[in-house]
Structure formats: structure tokens, C-alpha cells
Amino acid sequence: MTMPYYVAPEQVLKDRAEYAQKGIARGRSLVGTVYDAGVLLVAENHLRTLHKISEIYDRVAFAGVGRYSEYDQLRVAGVRHADTKGYAYSREDVDARSLANVYAQYLNQVFTHEMKPLEVEILVAGLGVDGDAHRLYHIAYDGTIVDEERFIVLGGDAEAISQRFEQVFVPSWSLGEALSACVTCLAGPDRTLGPDILEVGALAEGNGRRAFRRILGEELASLLDASG
């Protein structure tokens, strides 16, 4: 009679974590920060039509790094969750916190019960209502969730970029200032990032009911030029 191998649970989880981290580290990083009109999301993305940053609902945005197919599946699920809630109850009842929790539960469940963890890290951003603080939720591959009111960095290089960003962060900076800081910190000391490999989205007051918009093309180039 053969006995199944015994592997300590600590070892199983450690292996899975390592696997997920490796997958995430292969991708490029992303920064989400608050600025004077809302939340700015900036990613280094060499793909033109496959987005890392997207709209979920009126005042909720999504960003993901890691394996595209996996975080895009999460994005679509988030849109479905939000649209269902907004349709069944009311548009006002859709918020970032509840969505972030659902994501965290799902990622945790996959991490502990499935063979392969998801190789993703995601960010859920919520625009504050009536002067409340904007919220940024960071959800890791294992379902660990953190909420922030200032900024969040996702991706393999997150630690180094976070340290750089901490030094320059100003809570009420303008769109241009925030953007240029994000780009500089994402690039690091040895590189520069042009508008053609940046993906930028903003969740801001003044865009109407749907607060999310992409900052593209000429607008992006001129914002980057203006800030040097």
C-alpha cells in the first residue's frame, strides 16, 4: 500500500506564494495615487489595446498587474458584480470597499484551495463621495487586502518604487505633478518612459456620472511635456 506524500501546509503555501510572486514579478509595475481632483492610475504598458487600468462603475476603477488573462477575468467579474448591484439596488449602493472585499475573498479561496494561485495583484480605487477621502485597496494574490488613502504601488518592483514615491508624494498635487512623479518613479533612475508605453487613467470629479476616463494621446503627451 502506498502512502501519499506528506507535505507540511506551510510548505504548500510557501511554494504557492513563491510561484505567484515570480509570475507577478515578470510584469511591469503600476502606481495609483490620489491628486487634487481624484485618483490617478499610471502603468507601464507596452501593449496598446490590452489594458491594465479600467472602469468598473461610476466611481470605481480597477487596475491589475501580473498575468493579463487572469486579472482581466477579475476585471470583468468586477464589472458584473457592480452592474448587478447597481441594477438590483441603486447606483449609489455600488462602492469600492464591497468590491475589494469580494475580490479578496475570491483570491484567498483560490490561493488556499486550488493547485495554482492567481498570478495577479490588483488595485480597486474608489472616488470619495461628498468630500470623503478617496480609497485605494490593494489586494494581493493570496487575498491579503490593504486600504490606503495616499498611494499604492503594484508589481514586481513595488518596494523600490514605493520608496521613491514616498519621498515625492504630496496629497493635493495637481494632475500634471502627480503624473510626472508617477512616471519618474516607475522609470527609476536609469530609464525614461515615453507616452507610447504608458497607460494612464483617472477617476475624477467633473467627468459626469461616470468618473473614469483615460488620458491618452495628445493630452498625455502635453501633460508630460508641461511637467518636464
Q: Which residues bind another protein (CB under 8 A)?
A: 49, 51, 54-56, 73-74, 76-81, 83-88, 102-103, 105-106, 210
Q: Measuring CA to CA, which residue among 132, 138, 140 is closest to residue 151? A: 138
Question: What span, in angstroms and rounded, lies between the C-alpha atoms of 66 and 72?
Answer: 10
Q: Minimum distance between the CB of residue 49 and another protein, rounded to whole angstroms?
A: 8
Number of H helices, E strands in the chain: 6, 10
Q: What are the φ and ψ backbone dihedral angles of 167, each rounded to 5 degrees?
A: -75, -25
Parallel/antiparallel/unpaired status of strands 145-148 and 53-57: unpaired
User: Given the complex with another protein, which of 26 and 210 has the nearer CB atom?
Assistant: 210
Q: Minimum distance between the CB of residue 83 and another protein, rounded to whole angstroms?
A: 5
Q: Minimum distance between the CB of residue 119 and another protein, rounded to whole angstroms?
A: 17
User: Given the complex with another protein, which of 119 and 157 has the nearer CB atom?
Assistant: 119
Radius of gyration of the chain (CA): 18
User: Given the complex with another protein, which of 8 and 88 has the nearer CB atom?
Assistant: 88
User: Given the complex with another protein, which of 84 and 222 has the nearer CB atom?
Assistant: 84
Contact 150, 137 (CB under 8 A): no
Q: Minimum distance between the CB of residue 205 and another protein, rounded to whole angstroms?
A: 18
